[in-house]
Structure 1
């Protein structure tokens, strides 16, 4: 996302939520004296930003059901091969091919990788609205499965990527073994970030998300091997 898009998201967010002005400056890239604090929880290495000038960690908690911005301002919903089966059955499709044909889009897009390289992704994405077009991929669209009370009508069978928010994750080869890493997505849409002196307040979230993130990465890896998606680096 561009800085302009993030600022627009923050402006919209702050109509309904109080957002720490220090965090706002950080999200907009105006604070650069930041350390990467890495902590291993189960099978995932979390990268938590530490603001050196404030001597504070950036932590997070979810405000659901009061907030559902992550569903109301979706960018894209890439599906794993597990999702294709589970969601297809939930929508009463007899086979995966028909579900893919009617309910998804296959798109290719570029994202910056964790080491600065550009990553080209090709994924099968769930349509966030029934008439979504490839040109709308990556734009903010309210998910059609969001009900009028802010809940997900397909929960608990929603896409695996939905369970990750606000984390982004990736695999790295470390000594011949795959290691899962995760860090926050700072899109300007989530009010749940806050500053803290230590990580104690977020221990439960890190424990729970460690399992979720690890399982999702294994599912994504299988999806690539099965030919439903692809990843290349440049």
Structure 2
């Protein structure tokens, strides 16, 4: 996302939530004395930003059900092969191929990891609205499965990527072993980020998300091997 898009999201967010001015400056790229604090929790290495000038970490907690911005301002919903089967059945499709034809859209997009590696992804995405077009991929669209009370009408069978928010994940080859990494997505839409002097306040979230992230990342990798998408590194 561009800084302009993030700023627009932050301005919209501040209509309903208090946003720490330091975090706002950070998300807009105006704070540069930032280091990457890596912590291994179970099978995942989390990369947590540390602001040297403030001597604080950027931590996170979810404010659902008071906030459901992650559903109301979706960018895309890439599906794993497991998602295709589970969600297809939930929507009463007898054939996965029919579900893919009617309820999904295939797009290609680029993502960058903190290591600087650029990844080109081609994925099968759940349509966030029935008539979604390829041109709308990556833009903010409210998910059609978000109900009037801010809940997900297909929970707990919603796409695996929904469980990850606000994290993004990737695999790296470390001495012949696949290692799962995770860091935050800073889109300006989530009010859950805050500053803290130590990591203890987020200890439980990291434990809970470690399994979710590990399982999803391996499932996503398997999805590519099963030819439900493709990935190339640059």
Shorter chain as denominator, the TM-score bin is: over 0.9
CA RMSD of aligned residues (A): 0.6
> Which deviates the most, 80-89 or 116-125?
116-125
Structure 2, unmatched stretches of 5+, are none
TM-score, scaled relative to structure 2: 0.99
TM-score, scaled relative to structure 1: 0.99
Distance 2:224 2:86 in 1: 18
Show the counterpart of 2:224: 224
Corresponding position: 1:42 with 2:7: no
What is the total number of aligned residue pairs between the two structures?
A: 234
Secondary structure of 1:16's partner?
coil
Deviations 1:126-161 (A, max 9, x none): 000000000000000000000000000000000000
Show the counterpart of 2:104: 104
Corresponding position: 1:179 with 2:200: no
Secondary structure of 2:147's partner?
coil
Show the counterpart of 2:164: 164
Distance 1:128 1:43 in 2: 31
Deviations 1:60-106 (A, max 9, x none): 00000000000000000000000000000000000100000000001
Corresponding position: 1:77 with 2:66: no
Distance 1:115 1:20 in 2: 27
Distance 1:205 1:118 in 2: 28
Corresponding position: 1:33 with 2:33: yes
Show the counterpart of 1:56: 56
Offset, 1:109: 1.1
Distance 1:134 1:33 in 2: 38
Secondary structure of 2:206's partner?
helix
Secondary structure of 2:203's partner?
helix
Distance 1:96 1:14 in 2: 41
Show the counterpart of 1:15: 15
Offset, 1:117: 2.8
Distance 2:143 2:26 in 1: 28
Distance 2:111 2:218 in 1: 20
Secondary structure of 1:206's partner?
helix
Offset, 1:167: 0.3
After TM superposition, the structure 1 = structure 2 runs for residues 116-127 of structure 1, keeping only pairs within 5 Å, are: 116-127=116-127
Offset, 1:113: 3.1
Secondary structure of 1:88's partner?
helix
Distance 2:60 2:96 in 1: 36
Secondary structure of 1:22's partner?
helix
Distance 2:51 2:117 in 1: 25
Distance 2:215 2:112 in 1: 23
Offset, 1:116: 1.5
Distance 1:215 1:114 in 2: 21
Distance 1:181 1:117 in 2: 13
Distance 1:167 1:148 in 2: 25
> Which deviates the most, 110-119 or 209-218?
110-119
